[in-house]
Structure 1
Amino acid sequence: MDWKVRAIRGATTASSNTKEAIAESVKELLDDIDQRNELDPEEIISVVFTTTADLDAIFPAAIARKRDHWDSVPLLDVQQMAVTPSLQQCIRVLIHINTPKPQAEIKHSYLREASNLRPDWSLAQVASR
C-alpha cells in the first residue's frame, strides 16, 4: 500500500455569531467530511480552520477537539483574509491526512452558503454520492 499525504477541503457558514451556531456548523462540516472520507484520527496530520472576521464567539478548533479521538490532533484557528465582497460568516477547513487513497477519491465538503465557493466540487460530488 502506497501511503501519501492528502488534503481535504471544506467550508460552511454559520447562521449567527454564537457559540451554538458555530458549533452546529463545525460539527455538521466535520461529520460530513468524516462520513465521506472515513477519517481515522490516527491518520490526521493537522487541521487548519479559518473564519471570517464576523465569527468570533468560539474557536472552531475548540469544537473539533471534543470529537472522539481528536484530543491529540494538531488543530489551528486563523482569521480568513478579508476580501470584498466575500462570503460572510464562513468557516473553512483544511485537513491533512495520511492515506492510501488516490487524490481522485478524496471528497471535499462545501455546505450551506459555502456550496457556492466551489460549485465544481459540489456538483461533481453530488453526482458521486
Structure 2
Amino acid sequence: MIRGMRGAITIEKDEPQLVWDETVKLVQAIVEQNNVEPDHIASIIISTTPDITSAFPARSVRMLDGWDYVPIMCMHEMNVEGALPLCIRVLLHVETEIAQRDITHVYLNDAIKLRPDLAAK
C-alpha cells in the first residue's frame, strides 16, 4: 500500500547550502523514524514558500547514496498572507504496511507550529 509521509522544516535565510542541508535533515528524519528505504519510495514532492528561491531542495536529496532514481519534484506553496515564512515541506509517497495512524510525520524548527499535534507524537 502507498502511504503519505510528510514533514516540514524552516530555514533561517534563503541560502543554497541551508536549503540543501535542512531538506536532507528533514528527509532523513522522516525515513529514519519510519524505517523507510529509498527503494520503497514511489515519489517525493517538495514545496517551498515563495521566499525560497536560491536553490532546488531536491538536488540535495538526489545526491544521497542510493537515492539516484527516486522521482522528486519541487514546487512553490501558495502565497497566503500570514503563512509561515522560509518553510520547506516534504511529502513522500511510500510503499509500506505501516497503518496511517502509526506513521511518524516530522516537523522541525519553526515548522512545529504547522502541526503541533503531529510534532508532539
* TM, length-normalised to structure 1: 0.91
69-78 or 22-31: which moved more? 22-31
Equivalents in 1 of 2:104, 2:65: separation in Å?
A: 21
Equivalents in 1 of 2:110, 2:67: separation in Å?
A: 27
Partner of residue 83, structure 1: 80
Equivalents in 1 of 2:74, 2:20: separation in Å?
A: 14
Question: 1:14 offset after TM fit, Å?
Answer: 1.0
Amino acid of the structure 2 residue aligned with 1:31: Q
Equivalents in 1 of 2:78, 2:21: separation in Å?
A: 23
Q: 1:5-61 CA distances to partner (integer Å, 9 max, x unpaired)?
A: 100010001111111111121111012112101111111000000001111111011
Equivalents in 1 of 2:110, 2:3: separation in Å?
A: 25
Partner of residue 108, structure 1: 105
Contact 2:21 2:60 in 1 (8 A): no
Equivalents in 2 of 1:23, 1:77: separation in Å?
A: 13
Equivalents in 2 of 1:61, 1:103: separation in Å?
A: 25
Question: 1:100 offset after TM fit, Å?
Answer: 1.4
Partner of residue 115, structure 2: 118
Q: 1:74-116 CA distances to partner (integer Å, 9 max, x unpaired)?
A: 1000011011011000000110011111112211000000000
Amino acid of the structure 1 residue aligned with 2:43: S
**Partner residue of 2:51 out of 54, 66, 76:** 54
Structure 2 unmatched ranges of 5 or more: none
Partner of residue 90, structure 2: 93
Equivalents in 2 of 1:67, 1:102: separation in Å?
A: 27
| Same amino acid, percent of matched pairs | 36
Aligned positions, number: 121
* TM, length-normalised to structure 2: 0.96
SS at match of 1:76: strand
- 1:65 has 2:44 as partner: no
Structure 1 unmatched ranges of 5 or more: none
Amino acid of the structure 2 residue aligned with 1:38: N
Partner of residue 28, structure 2: 31
